[in-house]
Amino acid sequence: MEMQTLKKIKELTATVMVTALLLIFMFSSSIVDGRQIKSTTEGCCRPDVLIIDSAKIFGDLERQPVLFFHDKHTDALEKKDKDCRTCHLSEKDRLSPKFKRFNDAGRQEVMDIYHSGCMGCHTEMYAEKDKTGPVEICGECHRDKVKVQSSRQPMGFDQSLHFRHLKATGDKCERCHHEYDEKTKKLFYAEGKEGTCRYCHMAEAEKNRIPMRVASHLFCIDCHRKTRASGKAKNKIAGPVKCAGCHDFDKQQLIKKVKDVPRIKRKQPDVVLIRAAGKGTSGKTSGGQMNPVPMDHKAHEKYNDTCRACHHESLDSCSECHTLAGTKEGKDVKLERAMHQIGTTKSCIGCHELRYGDKKCAGCHAFIQNGQKQSKLSCFRCHMESLQPDTEAVQQPEAVASGLLGSRKALAGTYADEDIPEKIIIGELIYEYEPVGFPHKKIIDSLLQNIKDSQLTNYFHSEKGVICQACHHNSPISKKPPRCVSCHGKTFDEANLLRPGLQAAYHRQCMGCHKEMSIEKPKSTECNDCHKATGKSRLYD
């Protein structure tokens, strides 16, 4: 009896403890800067979270860094008809990114600036009986544990935004683009040499160059702020000045997109001839080297939102940095690797491979190994043999590239209808289920329809039988490729672990294709969608 009572007490105690923990988890909260934050992830993230740890450049911090909500403070200042200049000093009509200072002179000075500036403002608002932040206890700002996290999303400047800014400024590229003159120690506009800001402004500060984060906030927000103050903004749109305007995911989706963006005017070529030339080479295109590669530069501009997709360090030719032997400027990445490396978006083949992930292509390419992909992308599909002598390729590369591009042949379809079976009966594994009628011609027509508008796909699928490789993936291109059972035995071959048995091969190929291409029917889990049951229980004879 006592044992039963003791057992019930233990069970009751455990129940109470679990319930208490659940209640603490569900309802516990923390007051952070006057705002109640749930301990769960719901509502705990903001795009304007900044970490104030400026004094760490002078050594280890004495207290925890301060979590600062920038937009919240901006909104509070707006209600009192104050603006950015309340916290940021101005020099030559440009705001400093630092709080109430231009430079960090010393640890104590930086600490005093924050303490007097922040606490002074809080104290003033408290005296006016306004809602404000901490005014007394250090730990209210310097918290050991804070449940608020940053939801900041990186902000990109794509072709659409570039065109909108170009139009708004009246084609005045000098408003944003500049270079630094080491002699005069001043910025100047170099017409015809405009490049992305990220070519000079890196993630961290360098000699005479502020980091990208500071540069974008200084120039972009400053321009938006001045345009808004001038009243010249069309339709009252002058660009965001708060963190959320650029770095909140939902607000990013609201940014107007220009569908047909006019081409950037920078005198860039329409076509280029990619050659193994540049630093450390003679400029020749042959002499034991591969044939040159013609590239439709104008078309590739439309495929990408930014020039940095290919020109990731500068707008110079790839071979200027990526030579045959490699250079320090090119981080020792040789030209061959820069063009052919798989698994990166910075190479030609790597970028093309991304297209395999499109659901229109994935049904075929998801089951083809990289080595097979490369064997089908024959070197000479890109490295085209030119009829012109090498000297002409060097002296007139655009003319040679135009001629080679014009000679390319796109997909002309596939075999004639009479050579393509309308329907195929798959009956090798009949017993438990009846044979399956495979709509062969319908599937081929569907695949061709999917890729008809893709210039890239049509070029690399120029052989009539290449579309058949989707299923007949290990056989040569032919009007009559071998049947699946020619390679995949009815039973699993223990001597060849990488080759599935016939039943597994059919299911993997058919159902896998449906999954990769997001085809809802037939459902992969419903056998009767493809098979009709015979009532027998064995798989096959």
C-alpha dihedral sign at 6, 8, 12, 18: positive
Which of the 8 DSSP states describes residue 219?
I
Lowest-pLDDT choice from 260-269, 367-376, 476-485: 367-376
- Note whether residue 189 is domain-resident: yes
More confident: 2 or 85: 85
More confident: 397 or 521: 397
pLDDT of residue 272: 94
Same domain? For 397 and 462 the reply is no
- Note whether residue 412 is domain-resident: no
Closest CA to 242 of 84, 67, 53: 84
Record the tokens describing residue 86, joined without a space. Answer: 């309340």
- Which of these three, 110, 129, 150, is where a domain ends? 150
CATH number for position 521: 3.90.10.10
pLDDT of residue 348: 92
Q: Which residues, 6 or more positions from 429, have their beta carbon under 8 angstroms from its beta carbon? A: 490, 502, 503, 506, 539, 540
Same domain? For 129 and 38 the reply is yes
pLDDT above 70 covers a percentage of the chain that reads 85
Stretch 347-354: mean pLDDT, rounded? 90
Check if the beta carbon of residue 278 is closer than 8 Å to that of residue 320: yes
pLDDT of residue 523: 66
C-alpha 139/C-alpha 62 separation (Å) is 12
Q: Given a cut of 80, is residue 401 above it in pLDDT?
A: yes
Check if the beta carbon of residue 187 is closer than 8 Å to that of residue 179: yes
Tens of pLDDT along 252-262?
999 999 989 99
Same domain? For 62 and 173 the reply is no
Check if the beta carbon of residue 438 is closer than 8 Å to that of residue 423: yes
Same domain? For 398 and 276 the reply is yes
Same domain? For 280 and 352 the reply is yes
Here the contacts of 294-303 (C-beta below 8 Å, separation 24 or greater) are: 294/384, 294/400, 294/401, 294/402, 294/404, 294/405, 295/271, 295/401, 296/270, 296/271, 296/405, 297/268, 297/269, 297/270, 297/271, 297/272, 298/263, 298/270, 298/271, 299/455, 301/263, 301/264, 301/268
Residue 41: alpha-carbon gap to chain centroid: 25
- Note whether residue 24 is domain-resident: no
Counted domains in the chain: 4
In 128-269 the beta strands, taken as DSSP E runs, fall at 149-150, 179-181, 186-188
Q: Half-sphere exposure of 531 toward its Cβ, with a 13 Å CA cutoff?
A: 22
Tens of pLDDT along 491-537?
888 888 888 999 899 998 898 899 899 888 776 567 888 888 887 76
C-alpha 530/C-alpha 521 separation (Å) is 10
Highest mean pLDDT among 127-131, 205-209, 385-389, 453-457: 127-131
Same domain? For 439 and 335 the reply is no
pLDDT of residue 198: 92
Same domain? For 197 and 244 the reply is yes
Residue 64, judged by CB atoms within 10 A of its CB (0-12, 13-18, 19+), counts as middle
pLDDT band at 337 (very low <50, low <70, confident <90, very high): very high
Q: Given a cut of 60, is residue 314 above it in pLDDT?
A: yes
Same domain? For 278 and 395 the reply is yes
- Note whether residue 262 is domain-resident: no
Tens of pLDDT along 112-171?
999 999 999 999 999 999 999 988 888 889 988 877 889 999 998 999 999 999 999 899
Q: Given a cut of 80, is residue 59 above it in pLDDT?
A: yes
Rounded to a whole number of angstroms, the CA Rg of the chain reads: 33
pLDDT of residue 256: 92
pLDDT band at 29 (very low <50, low <70, confident <90, very high): very low
Residue 506, judged by CB atoms within 10 A of its CB (0-12, 13-18, 19+), counts as buried
Summary mean pLDDT of the chain:
83
pLDDT of residue 9: 45
Lowest-pLDDT choice from 154-168, 339-353, 422-436: 422-436
Same domain? For 283 and 396 the reply is yes
pLDDT band at 285 (very low <50, low <70, confident <90, very high): very low
pLDDT band at 373 (very low <50, low <70, confident <90, very high): low
- Note whether residue 536 is domain-resident: no
- Note whether residue 6 is domain-resident: no
- Which of these three, 91, 117, 150, is where a domain ends? 150
Q: Given a cut of 90, is residue 11 above it in pLDDT?
A: no
More confident: 7 or 62: 62
Lowest-pLDDT choice from 12-21, 131-140, 146-155, 324-333: 12-21
C-alpha dihedral sign at 7, 12, 13, 19: positive
More confident: 296 or 21: 296
pLDDT of residue 147: 79
Same domain? For 500 and 447 the reply is yes
Q: Given a cut of 70, is residue 207 above it in pLDDT?
A: yes
Instruction: Determine the structural domain holding residue 115 and report its residue range.
Output: 33-150
C-alpha dihedral sign at 451, 457, 463, 467: negative
Q: Given a cut of 70, is residue 235 above it in pLDDT?
A: no
Which of the 8 DSSP states describes residue 280?
T
Buried b (16+ CB within 10 A) or exposed e, 389-400: ebeebbeebeeb
How many C-beta atoms lie closer than 10 Å to residue 406's C-beta?
Answer: 9
- Note whether residue 467 is domain-resident: yes
- Note whether residue 17 is domain-resident: no
Q: Does residue 476 have a cis bond before it (omega within 30 degrees)?
A: no
Q: Given a cut of 60, is residue 209 above it in pLDDT?
A: yes
Tens of pLDDT along 439-480?
999 999 999 998 888 888 888 887 888 888 888 888 888 889
pLDDT of residue 22: 38
Record the tokens describing residue 19, joined without a space. Answer: 């319930």
Record the tokens describing residue 222, joined without a space. Answer: 């400053």
Which of the 8 DSSP states describes residue 218?
I
**DSSP structure string for 422-468:** S-EEE-TT-SSB--EEE-HHHHHHHHHHHHTT-HHHHHHT-STTGGG
Q: Half-sphere exposure of 285 toward its Cβ, with a 13 Å CA cutoff?
A: 24
pLDDT of residue 369: 64
Q: Given a cut of 90, is residue 220 above it in pLDDT?
A: yes
pLDDT of residue 160: 94
Check if the beta carbon of residue 413 is closer than 8 Å to that of residue 448: yes
209 — phi, psi (to 5°)? -135, 120
pLDDT of residue 433: 82
Q: Given a cut of 60, is residue 377 above it in pLDDT?
A: no
C-alpha 389/C-alpha 402 separation (Å) is 15
Lowest-pLDDT choice from 33-42, 59-68, 70-79: 33-42
pLDDT band at 234 (very low <50, low <70, confident <90, very high): low
- Which of these three, 381, 407, 433, is where a domain ends? 407
Same domain? For 351 and 280 the reply is yes
Same domain? For 479 and 377 the reply is no
Stretch 281-301: mean pLDDT, rounded? 72
Report pTM.
0.75
